[in-house]
Structure 1
Amino acid sequence: MKMKKINIVRFAPKGSNSFIETLTAAVHDYFRSNNISPYANAAMWLKTAIMLLCYFVPCIFIILGAGASNLWLFWGLWFLMGWGMIGIGTAVMHDANHGTYSPHKKINIFIGHILEVIGGYSVNWKIQHNMLHHTYTNIDGLDEDISSTVLLRLSPQQRRYWFHRHQHIYAWFFYALMTLYWMTAKDYLQVIRFKQRNLLHKQKVSLPKALMHITWSKMFYYAYILVLPLLFSGQPWYFVLTGFFIMHLTAGLFLSCVFQPAHIMPNAAFAAPVVSGDSRQMKDSWAVHELVNTINFAPRNAWLSWFIGGLNYQIEHHLFTDICHVHYRKIAPIVKATAASFGLPYQVQPTFLRALREHSRMLKILGKK
């Protein structure tokens, strides 16, 4: 089969004494002068334990039949598992697969495989998120985070259909299905697509090996998440399936509400590359491109920031993927001040609800002609 290489774009050179060079020096000086490691600290490890318990303790209770005589308790345990799944995704798996738990690669890989335990595939995640999304943020055709069903138009460069005028209403339904689709069909379709685009080899994985890994991990996932509750929970199969859907709809909707307002917003640049012959060139350097396509939100909401793994500090995360999220709040003033000194925007929505409203407004804008 002929390989279809990814149609990459080139960013403008960063230049000497550039924004990113100045910022990197200032951030590194912060860690050095305070004698702080950029990796996980004790608070991060404690959070990891809490998130894992929030997912696995309700799961054990379900399997042991704790909700056998009380349907609302039974479904409540599935609902709690949904929040545990969110916490694992944002505050455990995410950092591990960026390599920010430890300077030791094997520790990060080991923790990153928690994604397989909750039904995903870490290789696909690293390609989609680390390689494509973080490099080509909001660039249509490269950033898979904005490549969704044809029913959603998430970029000005994407084709518009008449039904997109209503997407600000129905998009939330598709957002809720995100993890359910991920745990069923997405990993298989995605790994085949990544093979066709010659991306699997960068992770040193062959397609047969990847397909086998996905199949075995999903068999394990469905064995403990559905088969064991069906056998031992004491509830009929249709109540078990309802609980399973409650967990995934909760996780899918909230995770989408965390990730979408970080980039698909009215103030995001969505700049398209300039095509010249066989090359595609961006006007901005990579760091500036990330800055103008990324928005923080709710910086004063300490609880939200703790729970979602600092992803409300999305600017800091995109510029410094090698730093654990527990440090974002401290380096945020450095990033903001450096951006201001270079005349660059530092976009922040004051609250989570305000960010969601602006994202909904962007969906409405993209749905118009």
Structure 2
Amino acid sequence: MEKLKRPVYLKPDTDDFFKKIRKEVNETVLQNSSLYLLNVIKSLGLVISFFLFYACILCFGNSTPLLFLFYILCGVTMIVLFINAFHDAAHGALFKKQKHNQWFMYVLELFGSNHWLWTRRHINLHHAYPNIPDWDVDIRQSDIIRIFPNSPLFNYHKYQHIYMWLIYPLYSLNWIYIRDFKDFFGKKDNYVKKIVDKIPVTEVYLLFAAKLVNLFYLLFLPMFLLDQPWYMVLLAWIAMHMCGSALGVVALVSTHVDEDAQFPVADDEGNLSATWALHQMIVTKDFSTNSKLANFLYGGFTHHVAHHLFPGVGHTYYPYITPIIKRYAKEYNLPYTSYPFYHAVRSHFRMLKNKGIKENIMMAGEI
């Protein structure tokens, strides 16, 4: 893949708003140790809940309604666990000691993913260069969907705002059983290899081991133990992934890619026109920040601006950091957006519709 210059952010001046925000957050919000404990209890509770629901599949799965119910609960808990606990641990924000975060990330392998790979995708590409074409791999997934203005436009993209409703529920299946292998072994448009010179051999073995273990205990073992047709267990397993993915995609589409999204491009020398902190404010949005249910389910995604400015801080602190960010945004006339989740999702699909057709004079507003 063609080597590209890494984007370089503008250096902050002496009156940098983020220095003031960081100082206030450190002196006030981060002094509350109870929020750290809450995060740990929540994360461990989600792990226990997932395996309790899995045990219920094996104990009560001979009843078809209960089979589907507990598989779907596993799917929802799996996504909530990932969005909250694994996301924080990947940033070193769940436990105080980094080695404990690293140990906890190995639990992710039980869900079929590869924590080594995902951590590098998410932190070294998405967080380092959010919404920047050719760098933000979390947004640039495949040619099936067109989001970046510089991405190829194909005829079928005119329907992407329709067919993505059917594809998004397959997100976790694609991630675990297709995308991981493409990132490890693919050569075309392999964004991960921009930042990784060589993949450790142990991670290759772990990649295959995680997939096999995940399929064994979540799919094959229930097929073997339950008095259910194999295809019924398979359908329940698919329902698990589809329901979990549908819940999780709300977080993914609501924070960076709506119809007003910005996709800053570096100049020929690789320079960007904003500082790192200002860039995060420009390309990141919050949703449903006042909803306790949304905050519980989506963790650091509802208060996503706070997450991008303070990625090393646990998500339970974000509801107390966001008001500080909003105050400085108003004082410094900075961009800050927070939508109800339904508005954010609707805006995302409007964006898909707009990005799926060619621009014309009437749309561009200029000749």
TM-score by length of 2: 0.91
The SS at the match of 1:160 is coil
Q: 1:61 aligns with which of 44, 51, 56?
A: 56
Q: 2:303 aligns with which of 313, 321, 340?
A: 313
Q: Is 1:261 equivalent to 2:291 in the alignment?
A: no
1:336 alignment counterpart:
326
Question: Shift of residue 50 of structure 1?
Answer: 3.1
1:293 alignment counterpart:
283
Q: 1:170 aligns with which of 163, 166, 184?
A: 163
> Given that residues 169 and 242 in structure 2 are in contact (C-alpha distance below 8 angstroms), is that contact kept between their aligned partners in structure 1?
yes
The SS at the match of 2:9 is strand
Between the aligned partners of 1:145 and 1:304, the Cα distance in structure 2 is: 22
2:363 alignment counterpart:
none
Q: Is 1:274 equivalent to 2:267 in the alignment?
A: yes
Q: Is 1:359 equivalent to 2:348 in the alignment?
A: yes
Which aligned pairs between 1:182-261 and structure 2 lie closer than 5 A?
182-192=175-185, 197=193, 199-200=195-196, 206-261=199-254
The SS at the match of 1:144 is coil
Unpaired runs of at least 5, structure 2 = 359-367
More displaced, 141-150 or 183-192? Answer: 183-192
The SS at the match of 2:130 is coil
> Given that residues 54 and 80 in structure 1 are in contact (C-alpha distance below 8 angstroms), is that contact kept between their aligned partners in structure 2?
no
**Residue identity (%):** 27
Unpaired runs of at least 5, structure 1 = none
Between the aligned partners of 1:273 and 1:119, the Cα distance in structure 2 is: 36
> Given that residues 286 and 304 in structure 2 are in contact (C-alpha distance below 8 angstroms), is that contact kept between their aligned partners in structure 1?
yes
The SS at the match of 1:11 is strand
Stretches of 4+ moved more than 3 A in 1? 3-7, 192-196
Question: Shift of residue 310 of structure 1?
Answer: 3.3
Between the aligned partners of 2:96 and 2:35, the Cα distance in structure 1 is: 10
**Residues 223-259 of structure 1, C-alpha deviations (whole Å, 9 max, x = no match):** 1111211110221110111011001111122211111
Partner letter of residue 318 of structure 1? Answer: H
More displaced, 47-56 or 149-158? Answer: 47-56
1:20 alignment counterpart:
18
Partner letter of residue 345 of structure 1? Answer: P
**Residues 282-340 of structure 1, C-alpha deviations (whole Å, 9 max, x = no match):** 11111111111111011111111112113111100011001100010001011111122
- Structure 1 residues 195 and 136, CA gap change in structure 2 (3 angstroms): closer
2:364 alignment counterpart:
none
> Given that residues 93 and 113 in structure 1 are in contact (C-alpha distance below 8 angstroms), is that contact kept between their aligned partners in structure 2?
no
Q: 2:292 aligns with which of 291, 299, 302?
A: 302
2:153 alignment counterpart:
160
Partner letter of residue 94 of structure 1? Answer: H
> Given that residues 29 and 321 in structure 2 are in contact (C-alpha distance below 8 angstroms), is that contact kept between their aligned partners in structure 1?
no
Between the aligned partners of 1:56 and 1:177, the Cα distance in structure 2 is: 22
Which aligned pairs between 1:82-97 and structure 2 lie closer than 5 A?
82-97=75-90
Partner letter of residue 248 of structure 2? Answer: L
Question: Shift of residue 124 of structure 1?
Answer: 1.2
Partner letter of residue 67 of structure 1? Answer: G
Question: Shift of residue 8 of structure 1?
Answer: 1.5
**Residues 72-117 of structure 1, C-alpha deviations (whole Å, 9 max, x = no match):** 1111111111111111111111111110112211111111222111
Q: 1:105 aligns with which of 98, 104, 119?
A: 98
Question: Shift of residue 266 of structure 1?
Answer: 1.9
Partner letter of residue 22 of structure 1? Answer: K
Q: Is 1:45 equivalent to 2:34 in the alignment?
A: no
Partner letter of residue 46 of structure 2? Answer: M
> Given that residues 9 and 280 in structure 1 are in contact (C-alpha distance below 8 angstroms), is that contact kept between their aligned partners in structure 2?
yes
Question: Shift of residue 195 of structure 1?
Answer: 9.3
Question: Shift of residue 13 of structure 1?
Answer: 1.1
Q: Is 1:138 equivalent to 2:136 in the alignment?
A: no
Partner letter of residue 154 of structure 1? Answer: I
Q: What CA RMSD, in Å, does the superposition of the two structures yield over aligned residues? A: 1.9
- Structure 1 residues 304 and 40, CA gap change in structure 2 (3 angstroms): same
Partner letter of residue 53 of structure 1? Answer: I
